[in-house]
Amino acid sequence: MAKVIAVTNQKGGVGKTTTCCSVCGELARLGYKVLAVDLDPQSNLSFSLGVEMDDDFTIYDVMKGNCEITDAIFHGEVCDVVPSNILLSGLELEMTGVGREYVLREQLSGVSKKYDYIILDTPPALSVLTINAYTASDELVIPMLCEILSLQGIAQLKQTIFAVKRYYNKSLCVRGILLNKYNPRYTLTQDVEDLAEDIAEQLGTTIFNTKISASVAIAEAPAHGESIITYSPKSKSAQEFKAFVKELIEPHKSGSQKKAGSDK
């Protein structure tokens, strides 16, 4: 069964898609079978992973019940991808039926045996898509920028995570906070890191040891339809994401998945 990991933070531009893309790239390089699911109407992950869209089915059709998830899988160069579509932005109003929180989980369970990891990119919102992602996930990774505003976002996020854990997915585990565009030389970074540690504690998790520095190569990679892992394998960013993935998958290798906070 695949381990399902959602990368989430309802604040925009914190590095969710970048993290998904890089994690998929590194997991694939390591030989894992990976499915990336783009749950953001902006389709940034689909673009970053080099998906070429015709009139194919997308995650919108999957969520609407127009097709099975297997019909919407694009076999990309990096990994398999279920692409997104702008129509997804209207889904909140279209999905009103009982059990709407479980649609993605049900669909993913049908392909779970085929993959080692399923990585979910979420939109910068706390919507029905986010709830579906949390309900379908084993673990959450929360990227954040080393700015004060990012912390405000996390407090709101906490309420949503706790509600999903309570009502839809009791075993959901917040794996950790990933500090992005990190620069240890800024005083502000240290202040924010201290605050982030407080928040992490409230979420019953910790900050990942690996931090991601700001880099031009990260911003360039998506235009080439590949992850930083193959676009610039020797770069500092690629090394950082490799270290991050190592940290991320380490507990899965030992067989017994550690719960948030229990291993730190």
Ligand X SMILES: Nc1ncnc2c1ncn2[C@@H]1O[C@H](COP(=O)(O)OP(=O)(O)OP(=O)(O)O)[C@@H](O)[C@H]1O
List, in sequence order, the alpha helices (H) in the chain. 16-29, 44-48, 59-64, 91-94, 103-109, 128-136, 148-167, 187-202, 216-220, 228-231, 236-253
Which of ligand X, Mg ion, none lies near 212, with the C-beta cut-off 5 to 8 A by kind? ligand X
Interface stretch with Mg ion, choices 12-20, 88-96, 226-234, 251-259 (CB under 5 A): 12-20
Could you tell me the CA-to-CA distances from 83 to 43, 80, 118, 139, 187 in Å, in that order? 7, 9, 13, 21, 40
Which of ligand X, Mg ion, none lies near 181, with the C-beta cut-off 5 to 8 A by kind? ligand X
Q: Does 44 bind ligand X (CB under 6 A)?
A: yes
94: left (phi over 0), alpha (psi -120 to 50) or beta: alpha
Give least dist CB 42 to Mg ion, A: 6
Give least dist CB 171 to ligand X, A: 25
Q: Does 214 bind ligand X (CB under 6 A)?
A: yes
Q: Does 181 bind ligand X (CB under 6 A)?
A: yes
Give least dist CB 10 to Mg ion, A: 11
Q: Does 130 bind Mg ion (CB under 5 A)?
A: no
Q: Does 218 bind ligand X (CB under 6 A)?
A: yes
Could you tell me the CA-to-CA distances from 6 to 24, 187, 191, 231 in Å, in that order? 12, 30, 27, 23
Contact status, residue 199 vs residue 193, Cβ threshold 8 Å: no
* Interacting residue with Mg ion among 9, 22, 43, 44 (CB under 5 A): 44
Distance of CA 13 to the CA centre of its chain: 13
Which residues, 17 to 36, sit near ligand X by CB under 6 A?
Answer: 17-18
CB nearer to Mg ion: pick between 125 and 195: 125
Residues found near ligand X in the complex (CB under 6 A): 12-18, 40, 42, 44, 124, 180-181, 212, 214-215, 218-219
